[in-house]
Amino acid sequence: MSSVIKKTALSVALGAALIGGNVIATNAQGAKHTIVTVVKLSGIAWFNRMEEGVKQYAKETGNNATQVGPATADAALQVQMIEDLIARGVNAVTVVPNSPEALEPVLQKALSRNIVVVGHEASSLKNVTYDVEAFNNAAYGEHLMEAMAKGMGGKGEYAVFVGHLTAKTHNEWVDAAMTLQKSKYPDMKLVTSKIESNENQQTAYQKTKELLRTYPNLKGIQGSAGEDVVGAALAVEEAGLTGKVTIVGTSLVSVSGPYLESGEISMISFWDPAKAGIVMNKVAAMALEGKKVEDGMDLGVEGYNKVKLDGKVIYGQAWVDVTKDNMKDYNF
Protein backbone atom coordinates (compact mmCIF):
# COMPACT_ATOMS: atom_id res chain seq x y z
CA MET A 1 0.00 0.00 0.00
CA SER A 2 1.44 3.41 -0.92
CA SER A 3 2.49 5.97 1.65
CA VAL A 4 -0.20 8.38 0.45
CA ILE A 5 -2.97 5.79 0.70
CA LYS A 6 -1.79 4.76 4.14
CA LYS A 7 -1.72 8.35 5.34
CA THR A 8 -5.26 8.82 4.07
CA ALA A 9 -6.47 5.62 5.72
CA LEU A 10 -4.86 6.58 8.99
CA SER A 11 -6.32 10.08 8.83
CA VAL A 12 -9.79 8.64 8.30
CA ALA A 13 -9.36 6.18 11.17
CA LEU A 14 -8.03 8.78 13.55
CA GLY A 15 -10.60 11.32 12.40
CA ALA A 16 -13.33 8.85 13.18
CA ALA A 17 -11.72 8.25 16.54
CA LEU A 18 -11.94 11.95 17.29
CA ILE A 19 -15.71 11.84 16.98
CA GLY A 20 -17.05 11.29 20.44
CA GLY A 21 -13.57 11.37 22.00
CA ASN A 22 -14.80 13.78 24.62
CA VAL A 23 -18.39 12.60 24.68
CA ILE A 24 -19.68 11.99 28.18
CA ALA A 25 -22.18 9.20 28.65
CA THR A 26 -25.69 10.19 29.60
CA ASN A 27 -26.50 10.04 33.28
CA ALA A 28 -28.22 6.69 33.73
CA GLN A 29 -31.65 6.77 35.29
CA GLY A 30 -31.36 5.87 38.96
CA ALA A 31 -27.56 5.54 38.78
CA LYS A 32 -26.03 4.07 41.92
CA HIS A 33 -22.52 5.53 41.59
CA THR A 34 -20.96 8.37 39.65
CA ILE A 35 -17.58 7.17 38.33
CA VAL A 36 -15.46 9.26 35.97
CA THR A 37 -12.49 7.89 34.04
CA VAL A 38 -9.79 10.48 33.27
CA VAL A 39 -7.55 9.35 30.40
CA LYS A 40 -4.21 10.68 29.18
CA LEU A 41 -5.57 12.15 25.97
CA SER A 42 -8.89 12.31 24.16
CA GLY A 43 -9.35 11.80 20.44
CA ILE A 44 -6.97 8.90 19.79
CA ALA A 45 -8.02 5.36 18.97
CA TRP A 46 -6.66 3.82 22.18
CA PHE A 47 -8.76 5.92 24.53
CA ASN A 48 -11.79 5.96 22.25
CA ARG A 49 -11.71 2.18 22.54
CA MET A 50 -11.45 2.51 26.33
CA GLU A 51 -14.50 4.75 26.30
CA GLU A 52 -16.46 1.98 24.57
CA GLY A 53 -15.77 -0.17 27.62
CA VAL A 54 -16.77 2.59 30.03
CA LYS A 55 -20.05 3.08 28.18
CA GLN A 56 -20.67 -0.66 28.11
CA TYR A 57 -20.11 -0.83 31.86
CA ALA A 58 -22.54 2.06 32.42
CA LYS A 59 -25.20 0.41 30.27
CA GLU A 60 -24.87 -2.96 31.98
CA THR A 61 -24.78 -1.70 35.57
CA GLY A 62 -26.85 1.47 35.64
CA ASN A 63 -23.96 3.35 37.20
CA ASN A 64 -23.22 6.82 35.87
CA ALA A 65 -19.85 5.94 34.34
CA THR A 66 -18.29 8.44 31.93
CA GLN A 67 -14.90 9.27 30.43
CA VAL A 68 -13.07 12.56 29.95
CA GLY A 69 -9.57 13.54 28.90
CA PRO A 70 -7.51 16.56 27.88
CA ALA A 71 -7.01 17.60 24.26
CA THR A 72 -3.24 17.28 24.75
CA ALA A 73 -1.31 14.74 26.80
CA ASP A 74 -0.63 17.12 29.69
CA ALA A 75 -0.55 16.08 33.35
CA ALA A 76 -1.44 19.62 34.45
CA LEU A 77 -4.68 19.43 32.48
CA GLN A 78 -5.48 16.10 34.13
CA VAL A 79 -4.94 17.72 37.53
CA GLN A 80 -7.43 20.46 36.62
CA MET A 81 -9.99 17.87 35.50
CA ILE A 82 -9.66 15.92 38.74
CA GLU A 83 -9.95 19.12 40.79
CA ASP A 84 -13.23 19.79 38.98
CA LEU A 85 -14.45 16.25 39.69
CA ILE A 86 -13.62 16.67 43.38
CA ALA A 87 -15.63 19.88 43.40
CA ARG A 88 -18.53 18.06 41.75
CA GLY A 89 -18.44 15.41 44.46
CA VAL A 90 -18.22 12.35 42.23
CA ASN A 91 -18.07 8.98 43.97
CA ALA A 92 -15.00 7.63 42.20
CA VAL A 93 -12.26 8.67 39.80
CA THR A 94 -10.37 6.19 37.65
CA VAL A 95 -7.31 7.64 35.96
CA VAL A 96 -4.63 6.83 33.39
CA PRO A 97 -1.94 9.38 34.31
CA ASN A 98 0.45 11.14 31.98
CA SER A 99 2.69 11.57 35.02
CA PRO A 100 1.85 9.59 38.17
CA GLU A 101 4.06 11.82 40.29
CA ALA A 102 2.33 14.98 39.12
CA LEU A 103 -1.08 13.60 40.05
CA GLU A 104 -0.23 12.39 43.57
CA PRO A 105 -1.30 15.60 45.39
CA VAL A 106 -4.69 15.90 43.68
CA LEU A 107 -5.38 12.18 44.12
CA GLN A 108 -4.51 12.51 47.81
CA LYS A 109 -7.04 15.33 47.97
CA ALA A 110 -9.66 13.12 46.31
CA LEU A 111 -9.07 10.33 48.81
CA SER A 112 -9.35 12.80 51.68
CA ARG A 113 -12.84 13.67 50.39
CA ASN A 114 -13.79 9.96 50.47
CA ILE A 115 -13.61 9.65 46.68
CA VAL A 116 -12.45 6.22 45.53
CA VAL A 117 -9.40 6.42 43.22
CA VAL A 118 -8.41 3.63 40.81
CA GLY A 119 -5.31 4.01 38.64
CA HIS A 120 -4.23 2.29 35.43
CA GLU A 121 -0.77 2.18 33.82
CA ALA A 122 0.54 3.62 37.08
CA SER A 123 1.67 0.91 39.46
CA SER A 124 3.80 3.40 41.41
CA LEU A 125 0.83 5.53 42.48
CA LYS A 126 0.56 5.82 46.25
CA ASN A 127 -2.66 7.81 46.58
CA VAL A 128 -5.03 5.22 45.15
CA THR A 129 -7.54 2.75 46.42
CA TYR A 130 -6.31 0.29 43.78
CA ASP A 131 -4.29 0.34 40.57
CA VAL A 132 -5.22 -2.01 37.70
CA GLU A 133 -2.48 -3.33 35.41
CA ALA A 134 -3.25 -5.56 32.42
CA PHE A 135 -0.15 -7.67 33.13
CA ASN A 136 3.28 -7.68 34.74
CA ASN A 137 5.03 -4.79 33.02
CA ALA A 138 8.54 -6.22 33.12
CA ALA A 139 7.39 -9.47 31.51
CA TYR A 140 5.63 -7.50 28.77
CA GLY A 141 8.73 -5.42 28.03
CA GLU A 142 10.87 -8.54 27.84
CA HIS A 143 8.33 -10.08 25.49
CA LEU A 144 8.60 -7.12 23.10
CA MET A 145 12.39 -7.30 23.22
CA GLU A 146 12.31 -11.00 22.36
CA ALA A 147 10.15 -10.24 19.32
CA MET A 148 12.44 -7.44 18.15
CA ALA A 149 15.59 -9.49 18.76
CA LYS A 150 14.15 -12.36 16.72
CA GLY A 151 13.50 -10.02 13.80
CA MET A 152 17.01 -8.58 14.09
CA GLY A 153 18.69 -11.97 14.29
CA GLY A 154 19.94 -11.10 17.76
CA LYS A 155 22.37 -8.43 16.62
CA GLY A 156 22.51 -4.82 15.45
CA GLU A 157 21.53 -1.34 16.56
CA TYR A 158 18.11 -0.46 17.98
CA ALA A 159 16.16 2.37 19.60
CA VAL A 160 13.24 2.59 22.03
CA PHE A 161 10.33 5.03 22.25
CA VAL A 162 8.19 6.02 25.22
CA GLY A 163 5.12 8.24 25.11
CA HIS A 164 6.53 10.38 27.92
CA LEU A 165 9.67 10.08 30.00
CA THR A 166 7.33 10.30 33.01
CA ALA A 167 5.04 7.46 31.80
CA LYS A 168 5.47 4.77 34.45
CA THR A 169 4.44 1.71 32.44
CA HIS A 170 6.28 2.72 29.27
CA ASN A 171 9.50 3.09 31.26
CA GLU A 172 8.97 -0.24 33.00
CA TRP A 173 8.54 -1.93 29.60
CA VAL A 174 11.65 -0.48 27.99
CA ASP A 175 13.79 -0.77 31.13
CA ALA A 176 13.00 -4.49 31.33
CA ALA A 177 13.58 -4.85 27.59
CA MET A 178 16.99 -3.17 27.74
CA THR A 179 18.03 -5.21 30.78
CA LEU A 180 17.13 -8.42 28.93
CA GLN A 181 19.01 -7.28 25.85
CA LYS A 182 22.20 -6.64 27.80
CA SER A 183 22.16 -10.09 29.39
CA LYS A 184 20.81 -12.20 26.52
CA TYR A 185 21.69 -10.34 23.32
CA PRO A 186 25.14 -8.76 23.77
CA ASP A 187 25.50 -8.23 20.01
CA MET A 188 22.59 -5.77 20.05
CA LYS A 189 23.28 -2.13 20.86
CA LEU A 190 20.99 0.66 22.06
CA VAL A 191 21.98 3.70 20.00
CA THR A 192 20.56 6.46 22.18
CA SER A 193 18.53 7.05 25.33
CA LYS A 194 14.73 6.67 25.43
CA ILE A 195 13.01 8.79 22.79
CA GLU A 196 9.86 10.67 23.78
CA SER A 197 7.01 10.70 21.26
CA ASN A 198 4.48 12.68 23.33
CA GLU A 199 1.95 9.98 22.32
CA ASN A 200 1.94 11.62 18.88
CA GLN A 201 2.32 9.84 15.54
CA GLN A 202 3.86 12.83 13.78
CA THR A 203 6.45 13.25 16.53
CA ALA A 204 7.37 9.55 16.31
CA TYR A 205 7.64 9.90 12.53
CA GLN A 206 9.95 12.94 12.68
CA LYS A 207 12.14 11.44 15.38
CA THR A 208 12.45 8.16 13.47
CA LYS A 209 13.54 10.10 10.38
CA GLU A 210 16.24 11.72 12.53
CA LEU A 211 17.23 8.31 13.91
CA LEU A 212 17.61 6.82 10.44
CA ARG A 213 19.77 9.76 9.32
CA THR A 214 21.97 9.62 12.43
CA TYR A 215 22.18 5.83 12.67
CA PRO A 216 22.02 4.43 9.11
CA ASN A 217 22.65 0.90 10.42
CA LEU A 218 19.60 0.93 12.70
CA LYS A 219 17.92 -2.50 12.67
CA GLY A 220 15.20 -2.31 15.32
CA ILE A 221 12.65 0.00 16.96
CA GLN A 222 10.50 -0.77 20.00
CA GLY A 223 7.51 1.51 20.55
CA SER A 224 5.44 2.08 23.69
CA ALA A 225 2.64 4.56 22.95
CA GLY A 226 -0.01 3.41 20.49
CA GLU A 227 1.14 5.83 17.79
CA ASP A 228 4.90 5.13 18.06
CA VAL A 229 5.11 2.15 15.72
CA VAL A 230 2.93 3.87 13.11
CA GLY A 231 5.09 6.99 12.96
CA ALA A 232 8.21 4.83 12.85
CA ALA A 233 6.75 2.63 10.10
CA LEU A 234 5.97 5.59 7.86
CA ALA A 235 9.53 6.89 8.22
CA VAL A 236 10.98 3.45 7.49
CA GLU A 237 8.76 3.03 4.43
CA GLU A 238 9.67 6.45 3.05
CA ALA A 239 13.38 5.64 3.53
CA GLY A 240 12.97 2.46 1.48
CA LEU A 241 13.93 0.29 4.45
CA THR A 242 10.90 -2.01 4.61
CA GLY A 243 12.10 -5.42 5.78
CA LYS A 244 15.41 -4.01 7.00
CA VAL A 245 14.21 -2.47 10.29
CA THR A 246 12.20 -4.59 12.72
CA ILE A 247 9.43 -2.56 14.37
CA VAL A 248 7.48 -3.91 17.34
CA GLY A 249 5.45 -2.24 20.07
CA THR A 250 2.12 -1.49 21.62
CA SER A 251 -0.65 -0.39 19.26
CA LEU A 252 -4.07 -1.29 17.91
CA VAL A 253 -4.95 -2.87 14.57
CA SER A 254 -7.22 0.06 13.71
CA VAL A 255 -4.16 2.32 13.82
CA SER A 256 -1.28 0.11 12.66
CA GLY A 257 -3.08 -2.34 10.36
CA PRO A 258 -1.85 -0.95 7.02
CA TYR A 259 1.77 -1.29 8.13
CA LEU A 260 1.28 -4.77 9.57
CA GLU A 261 -0.16 -5.82 6.24
CA SER A 262 2.68 -4.42 4.16
CA GLY A 263 5.46 -5.48 6.53
CA GLU A 264 6.90 -2.29 8.00
CA ILE A 265 5.58 -3.36 11.43
CA SER A 266 6.49 -6.91 12.42
CA MET A 267 4.26 -7.26 15.48
CA ILE A 268 2.06 -5.24 17.75
CA SER A 269 0.95 -6.25 21.22
CA PHE A 270 -1.79 -4.73 23.30
CA TRP A 271 -4.40 -5.28 25.92
CA ASP A 272 -7.95 -4.30 25.07
CA PRO A 273 -8.49 -0.78 26.45
CA ALA A 274 -12.25 -1.40 26.55
CA LYS A 275 -11.78 -4.31 28.93
CA ALA A 276 -9.38 -2.27 31.06
CA GLY A 277 -12.03 0.47 31.25
CA ILE A 278 -14.62 -2.03 32.42
CA VAL A 279 -12.29 -3.50 35.05
CA MET A 280 -11.32 -0.10 36.45
CA ASN A 281 -14.97 0.82 36.86
CA LYS A 282 -15.84 -2.57 38.37
CA VAL A 283 -13.05 -2.23 40.91
CA ALA A 284 -14.16 1.32 41.76
CA ALA A 285 -17.74 0.13 42.33
CA MET A 286 -16.52 -2.75 44.49
CA ALA A 287 -14.59 -0.32 46.67
CA LEU A 288 -17.61 1.97 46.96
CA GLU A 289 -19.66 -1.01 48.11
CA GLY A 290 -17.07 -2.07 50.68
CA LYS A 291 -15.91 -5.12 48.75
CA LYS A 292 -12.21 -6.03 48.60
CA VAL A 293 -10.27 -7.39 45.65
CA GLU A 294 -8.52 -10.60 46.64
CA ASP A 295 -5.56 -12.43 45.15
CA GLY A 296 -6.73 -14.98 42.57
CA MET A 297 -10.14 -13.33 42.20
CA ASP A 298 -12.09 -13.55 38.94
CA LEU A 299 -13.19 -10.03 38.00
CA GLY A 300 -15.46 -11.37 35.28
CA VAL A 301 -13.58 -9.83 32.34
CA GLU A 302 -11.39 -11.76 29.90
CA GLY A 303 -7.73 -11.38 30.87
CA TYR A 304 -8.65 -10.60 34.48
CA ASN A 305 -10.02 -14.01 35.46
CA LYS A 306 -7.36 -14.85 38.03
CA VAL A 307 -5.78 -11.60 39.11
CA LYS A 308 -2.63 -11.25 41.17
CA LEU A 309 -2.83 -8.71 43.99
CA ASP A 310 0.41 -7.04 45.08
CA GLY A 311 -0.40 -4.46 47.73
CA LYS A 312 -2.81 -2.10 45.98
CA VAL A 313 -1.83 -3.23 42.47
CA ILE A 314 -4.07 -5.68 40.59
CA TYR A 315 -2.36 -7.58 37.76
CA GLY A 316 -4.22 -9.37 34.97
CA GLN A 317 -2.90 -11.61 32.17
CA ALA A 318 -4.38 -9.66 29.30
CA TRP A 319 -1.86 -9.06 26.50
CA VAL A 320 -2.27 -10.38 22.95
CA ASP A 321 0.12 -10.39 19.98
CA VAL A 322 -0.94 -9.45 16.46
CA THR A 323 0.91 -9.87 13.16
CA LYS A 324 -0.31 -9.67 9.59
CA ASP A 325 -1.35 -13.32 9.94
CA ASN A 326 -4.01 -12.74 12.63
CA MET A 327 -4.80 -9.03 12.34
CA LYS A 328 -8.19 -9.75 10.78
CA ASP A 329 -9.29 -11.27 14.10
CA TYR A 330 -9.39 -7.79 15.66
CA ASN A 331 -11.71 -4.97 14.65
CA PHE A 332 -10.35 -2.22 16.90
Question: Domain containing 199 — which CATH number?
Answer: 3.40.50.2300
Same domain, 142 and 266: yes
Confidence of residue 31 (pLDDT cuts 50, 70, 90): low
115 with 148, same domain: the answer is: no
What values do phi and psi take at 6, rounded to 5?
-65, -45
Query: Do 163 and 106 share a structural domain?
Result: no
Residue 189 sits at φ, ψ, to 5 deg, of: -135, 125
Strand partners, 162: 196
Instruction: Extract the runs of DSSP E, i.e. beta strands, from the chain.
Output: 34-38, 64-68, 92-95, 116-120, 130-133, 156-162, 188-190, 195-196, 218-223, 246-250, 267-270, 308-310, 313-315, 320-322
Return the closest-CA partner of residue 275 out of 236, 246, 301. Answer: 301
Q: Give the per-residue pLDDT at 287.
A: 98
Evaluate if residue 5 carries a pLDDT over 60: no
Q: Is 231 within the bounds of a domain?
A: yes
119 and 208 housed in the same domain: no
What mean pLDDT is predicted for residues 235-239? 98
pLDDT tens figures, 173-208: 999 999 999 999 999 999 999 999 999 999 999 999
Q: What is the mean pLDDT of the chain?
A: 91
If asked whether residues 85 and 160 sit together in one domain, one would say no
Residues 200 and 180 grouped into a single domain: yes
102-151 pLDDT tens trace: 999 999 999 999 999 999 999 999 999 999 999 999 999 999 999 999 99
Q: Is residue 162 part of a domain?
A: yes
pTM metric for this prediction = 0.80
Position 323 pLDDT exceeds 70: yes
Tally of domains in the chain: 2
Q: Is residue 332 part of a domain?
A: no
Structural domain harbouring 244: 137-270
Regarding whether 214 and 173 lie in a shared domain, the answer is yes
Is residue 261 domain-shared with residue 284, that is, in the same domain?
A: no
Same domain, 253 and 202: yes
pLDDT tens digit string along 38-77? 999 999 999 999 999 999 999 999 999 999 999 999 999 9
Q: Cβ atoms within 10 A of the Cβ of 326, count? A: 12
How many CA atoms within 13 Å lie on the side-chain side of 246? 21
The answer to whether residues 203 and 280 belong to one domain is: no
Strand partners, 95: 38, 119
Q: Name the nearest CA neighbour of 199 among 247, 166, 159, 239.
A: 166
